[in-house]
Amino acid sequence: MTRPFRRQILYIPGFDPIPPRRYRELYRREAARQARISGYRIQMTSRPRTVGFGWRSHGAFADGTGDAVFEVLVWDDLVQNSMQRGIAGTYLQLVTTAWAYIGSGALFRLMRLRRGPVLAALYPIAVLLVQAIIALLAASAAAWLGSGVAGWWLGLPVGLAVMCAVLAGFRRIDNRIFAYYLMHDYAFTARHRGAYPDALETRLNQFADRLAKALAEDVDEVLVVGHSSGAYLAISLLADVIRAGRLRPDGPALSLLTLGHVVPMASFLPRADRLRADLAFLSERPEIFWLDVSAPGDACCFGLCDPVAVTGVAGPAQRWPLVMSAAFTQTLSPEAQKKLKWRWFRLHFQYLCAFDRPGDYDYFAITSGPLSLAQRFAHRSHSPGRITRPAGRGVAR
């Protein structure tokens, strides 16, 4: 009997303050659904918590079986810390973040790529400004009424109290609006103009130690998955490990899967030299296989934009990434597309979910199946519509 294909998966979430348990439950639910649709079997089991948070899976497919150990590389604590801003602090973030992108010219370069993610970036600014205008109008009306009763000494504090109450009310319903959440997300990247803050560099060093340990294990493949802003962290992680010589020539295959990337939001900023250098370096490495999956229908990512090329760091020896579309209009039924219409965040997570009309991209076959990423996609070419025109700042090579 042929032994199962053995895989270690290190998953890096995007800017997400929710603990990693949600990713286990998402995988459990969506893997079962995809297995029913596609005609294979995936069984999940718990994993002893020696390091990190994760789970195990066993997949039975027509072409073999696969055993996978998942681990979520957490940085939700850094996200939570960055979101500990009050209402006034968030409005200050609005000003500094807008200036970081507009003053550096990054916003105008981003507009040359995809309108969707740029509109998504402008959304929290617009919503927060509208909320401020509504609060000011309510405060003015309350102040006018208060002044008519007892003069300005009553009208002014009443107006201020109403303004604070209105803004606080909007803040309480942000779990439906997401304006504050998105503002914190973009501010996290813009605060240091694209450079990684010290706390994130420290976490990346810890991730590198974990990846090096995984590469020393008796497995067939180590697969690093980065979703959304986790995609550019995964890129820097692999670049760090390879530069440091921690990749064994006789070790397991090292694969990188980036999903729904937002790389230009960081790499176009003036101090993102570290990320730009990592992109240029990793794009030429023969030791890896890098697949980038996105979809034009995902308004929260730069769909089909080659992150290396559009940043302006592609050299003549570029070989990665292989850019592939998840093709939502083909892999999701009209009923599913209708259900997901206007649900931007849910569409942004579709890469981690089941497709009712699956195509070449199948997250669960990739992660629990019997083929490495290279074996599955080695003969695949870039999807039509791949965008490669340089729009970023580039980097000295």
**Residues paired with 301 in a beta bridge:** none
Q: Say which DSSP state 260 is in.
A: S
153: pLDDT strictly greater than 80? no
Are 184 and 270 found together in one domain? no
H-run or E-run covering 275: helix 273-282
**What domain range includes position 278?**
8-74+218-377
pLDDT tens for each residue of 32-65: 999 999 999 999 988 766 667 899 999 999 999 9
Q: In the predicted model, what is the mean pLDDT of residues 71-89?
A: 92
Query: Whole-angstrom Cα distance, residue 272 to residue 229?
Result: 14
253-259 and 41-45: which strand pairing? unpaired
In this predicted structure, which of 30-39, 141-150, 331-340 has the lowest mean pLDDT? Answer: 141-150
What residues have CB less than 8 Å from 246, skipping those under 6 apart? 208, 211, 212, 215
Are 329 and 227 found together in one domain? yes
Total number of domains constituting the chain: 2
Within-domain flag for 80: no
Q: What is the pLDDT of residue 396?
A: 41
Are 165 and 307 found together in one domain? no
pTM (2 d.p.): 0.94
Are 116 and 21 found together in one domain? no
In this predicted structure, which of 73-87, 202-216, 302-316 has the lowest mean pLDDT? Answer: 73-87
Within-domain flag for 387: no
pLDDT tens for each residue of 363-395: 999 999 999 999 999 999 999 999 999 987 665
**Residues paired with 60 in a beta bridge:** 41, 65
- Report the percentage of the chain scoring pLDDT > 70: 95
Are 132 and 175 found together in one domain? yes
Are 311 and 332 found together in one domain? yes
- Report the percentage of the chain scoring pLDDT > 90: 79
Within-domain flag for 79: no
Are 323 and 348 found together in one domain? yes
Q: What is the pLDDT of residue 248?
A: 87
Per the structure block, which two tokens stand in for 222?
């180590």
Per the structure block, which two tokens stand in for 89?
């602090």
Are 62 and 152 found together in one domain? no
Within-domain flag for 212: no
**Burial (CB count within 10 angstroms: exposed 0-12, middle 13-18, buried 19+), residue 76:** middle
Are 89 and 52 found together in one domain? no
Q: In the predicted model, what is the mean pLDDT of residues 294-309?
A: 95
Are 329 and 308 found together in one domain? yes
Q: What is the pLDDT of residue 97?
A: 93
Smallest Cα–Cα separation from 233: which of 273, 299, 278, 269?
A: 278
Q: In the predicted model, what is the mean pLDDT of residues 190-217?
A: 96
Within-domain flag for 43: yes
Are 277 and 139 found together in one domain? no
Question: What's the CA angle centered on 286, arms 289 and 258, to 5 degrees?
Answer: 30
152: pLDDT strictly greater than 80? no
**Burial (CB count within 10 angstroms: exposed 0-12, middle 13-18, buried 19+), residue 262:** buried
**Residues paired with 223 in a beta bridge:** 9, 255
Within-domain flag for 385: no
Within-domain flag for 41: yes
Are 355 and 222 found together in one domain? yes
Within-domain flag for 384: no
Per the structure block, which two tokens stand in for 116?
């969707």
